[in-house]
């Protein structure tokens, strides 16, 4: 087993950068909710088809994504907001 259990990448620098990205994404979502008076409990972000967009360094038609914000558990209610 490696230093970073349950994942392929064992590079310290890359793992640190990924954790920083995660922090920025979560903080941006928190700020969005606070600025727009949204009482959210759960956010789901899914992105696929990234390989086609990476060379362009921005979202391209070959990449699909969905972002959902829920007031409670997503299994039991409709999202407050959804972007497809």
27-81 per-position pLDDT tens digit: 999 999 999 999 999 999 999 999 999 999 999 999 999 999 999 988 889 999 9
Number of domains in the chain: 1
- What are the distances in angstroms from CA 80 to CA 54, 66, 70, 84? 30, 13, 5, 14
Residue 2 maps to a domain: no
Residue 17 maps to a domain: yes
Give the integer Cα–Cα distance in Å for 56 and 80: 31
Model confidence, pTM = 0.88
Residue 33 maps to a domain: yes
Residue 3 maps to a domain: no
Domain encompassing residue 43: 12-83
pLDDT exceeds cutoff 90 at 1: no
- Concatenate the DSSP letters of all residues of the chain into one string: --SSTTSS---HHHHHHHHHHHHHHHHHHHHHHHHTT---SEEEEEEE-HHHHGGGTS--TT-EEEEEEESS-TTSS--SEEE-
Residue 36 maps to a domain: yes
């Amino acid at each position: 087993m490696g230093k970073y259990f349950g994942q392929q990448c064992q590079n310290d620098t890359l793992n640190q950068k990924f954790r920083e990205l995660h922090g920025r994404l979560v903080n941006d979502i928190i700020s969005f909710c606070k600025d727009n008076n949204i009482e959210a409990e759960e956010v789901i972000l899914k992105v696929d088809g990234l390989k086609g967009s990476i060379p362009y360094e921005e979202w391209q038609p070959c990449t699909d994504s969905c972002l959902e914000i829920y007031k409670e558990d997503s299994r039991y209610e409709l999202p407050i907001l959804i972007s497809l």
